């Protein structure tokens, strides 16, 4: 899977763990937004193909 949704609780000592994996950037965005809705969650999406965090879900480089 290309996109990994990583999350952790905003508590001391907690670490990021994989929550969900997908090949669809829009599905990754949807899951990340739903998970981030709770203010105790810290969330980011990682692109394993490019080895970086996703900053712009509409960028062309993620649609290939």
Taking only the tens of pLDDT, the chain with its 64 residues reads: 999 999 999 888 899 999 999 999 999 999 999 999 998 999 999 999 999 999 999 999 998 7
pLDDT of the residue at 35: 94
pTM for this prediction: 0.89
pLDDT of the residue at 63: 82
Give backbone dihedrals phi and psi of 31, rounded to 5 degrees, phi first: -65, -45
List, edge to edge, every strand of the sheet that includes 3-9. Answer: 17-22, 3-9, 41-47, 52-53
């Amino acid at each position: 899977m290309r996109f990994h949704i990583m999350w952790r609780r905003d508590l001391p000592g907690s670490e990021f763990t994989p929550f969900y994996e997908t090949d669809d950037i829009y599905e990754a965005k949807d899951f990340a937004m739903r998970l981030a809705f709770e203010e105790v969650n810290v969330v980011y999406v990682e692109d394993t193909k490019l080895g970086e965090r996703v900053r712009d879900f509409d960028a062309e480089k993620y649609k290939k």
